[in-house]
């Protein structure tokens, strides 16, 4: 009987405990204090969920994080997804922007064989007549070239680029000689295979001895508000930024013709020379550099205020002794780069440290906007 009594006693205590717990829960839920605490807990759970979703892992980008800040024309940019696809297929997704820059140099998007890939198949130039086929062949060729260049002890990317232009034979040659690409050995390789023949501009006939510089300039940050407004060297002067923005719209879709750019027909077609281009850019910002029809580097260099290169600011004009004293002019962007219209490439961004421009820069810097 004692066991039965104990069992009944335990059962009654359990029922009473559950009843009291239920009443406590009902009181808690029915009271204002309990409701506030419950709502607070729900809000906390929601906030933690949002934070977790924001902080969770994401798929890494296949690009090289330069994004749209590179100086790529719309004609080439439209092939970005195709280049990304082929780059990923060939195991070099991080080189997408480098390949787009290479395309800018090879064709600017103006030819069907946009990567000039026909010759890598042993075909005559421009045999490929489909841009996407050109990308397929060209990216595969560059990927193979890049893998060879990875053996270099120095300048792997530069070695691969020059190898794409000269042919893969340059890669092994440069690695054996110097450990990889240098500007000096690129010139020497071109000299050897040019058999003493030079172009009118003084460069060796074989390939492009300055190919690396010519491609890499398209990887420099875009000026002003161009390319989604992302530029680490953007300045604060609204007039200067307006001039640079206006000029930058012609990057990759313009042509250099001596004496061009002095009428609306030329301007509409993107035809300029260096002085008419600078005149046009500043005019769009409300700054007159004199009569358009008679503008030259000689008429521009005497305007504004001369400053030393050490004190050069974004928007200043830099001059170079090319075919004559002060024969070429560009708009300084800062960080050792300038925007200009030059022979063969049209409107583009160039580096002051480029071998050619460094040799031609005469130290003349003119500030038009104070």
C-alpha to C-alpha distance for 23 and 15, rounded to whole angstroms: 12
Are 67-218 and 223-367 equal in CATH topology?
A: no
Tell me which H or E stretch contains 27: helix 2-30
Residues marked as catalytic: 274, 328, 340
pLDDT value of position 17:
52
pLDDT value of position 34:
56
pLDDT value of position 210:
87
Residue 254 DSSP label: -
Length of the chain: 370
Q: Which residues pair with 346 in a beta bridge?
A: 342
Please tell me the CATH code under which domain 223-367 is placed.
3.90.1720.10
Residue 204 DSSP label: B
- Domain locations in the chain as residue ranges: 67-218, 223-367
pLDDT value of position 228:
30
C-alpha to C-alpha distance for 367 and 305, rounded to whole angstroms: 5
Relative to beta strand 337-342, strand 346-351 is antiparallel
DSSP secondary structure of 56-81: S--PPPSS-S-GGGS---HHHHTTHH
Cα distances (angstroms) measured from residue 342 to each of 99, 106, 202, 345: 23, 16, 16, 6
pLDDT value of position 250:
86
At the top level of CATH, the class of 67-218 is mainly alpha
Q: Tokens representing 239?
A: 């007039």
pLDDT value of position 343:
84
**Closest CA relative to residue 136, chosen from 85, 175, 171, 190:** 85
Q: Tokens representing 281?
A: 């850019």
Q: Are 99 and 139 in contact (CB under 8 A)?
A: yes
C-alpha to C-alpha distance for 22 and 3, rounded to whole angstroms: 29
pLDDT value of position 158:
93
Q: Which residues of the chain register pLDDT less than 70? A: 1-71, 220-236, 344
């Amino acid at each position: 009987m004692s066991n039965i009594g104990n069992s009944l006693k335990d059962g009654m205590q359990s029922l009473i405990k559950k009843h009291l717990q239920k009443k406590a829960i009902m009181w808690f839920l029915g009271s204002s204090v309990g409701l506030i605490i419950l709502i607070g807990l729900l809000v906390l759970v929601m906030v933690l969920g949002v934070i977790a979703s924001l902080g969770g892992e994401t798929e890494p980008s296949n690009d090289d994080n330069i994004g749209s800040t590179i100086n790529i024309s719309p004609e080439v940019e439209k092939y970005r997804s195709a280049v990304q696809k082929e780059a990923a297929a060939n195991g070099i997704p991080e080189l997408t922007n480098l390949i787009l820059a290479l395309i800018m140099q090879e064709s600017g998007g103006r030819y069907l064989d946009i990567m000039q890939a026909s010759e890598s198949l042993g075909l005559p130039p421009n045999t490929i007549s489909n841009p996407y086929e050109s990308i397929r062949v060209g990216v595969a060729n560059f990927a193979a070239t890049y893998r060879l260049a990875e053996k270099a002890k120095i300048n792997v990317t530069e070695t691969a680029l020059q190898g794409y232009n000269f042919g893969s034979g340059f890669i092994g040659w440069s690695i054996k000689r110097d450990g990889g690409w240098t500007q000096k050995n690129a010139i020497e390789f071109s000299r050897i295979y040019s058999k003493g023949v030079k172009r009118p501009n003084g460069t060796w006939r074989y390939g492009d001895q300055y190919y690396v510089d010519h491609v890499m300039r398209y990887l420099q940050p875009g000026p002003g508000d161009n390319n989604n407004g992302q530029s680490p060297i953007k300045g604060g002067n609204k007039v200067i930024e307006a001039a640079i923005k206006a000029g930058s719209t012609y990057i990759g879709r313009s042509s250099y013709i001596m004496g061009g750019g002095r009428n609306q027909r030329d301007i509409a077609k993107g035809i300029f020379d260096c002085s008419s281009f600078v005149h046009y850019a500043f005019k769009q910002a409300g700054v007159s550099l004199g009569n358009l029809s008679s503008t030259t580097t000689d008429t521009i260099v005497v305007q504004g205020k001369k400053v030393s290169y050490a004190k050069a600011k974004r928007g200043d004009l830099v001059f170079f002794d090319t075919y004559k004293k002060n024969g070429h002019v560009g708009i300084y962007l800062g960080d050792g780069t300038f925007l200009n219209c030059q022979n063969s490439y049209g409107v583009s961004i160039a580096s002051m440290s480029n071998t050619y421009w460094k040799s031609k820069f005469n130290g003349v810097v003119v500030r038009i906007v104070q």
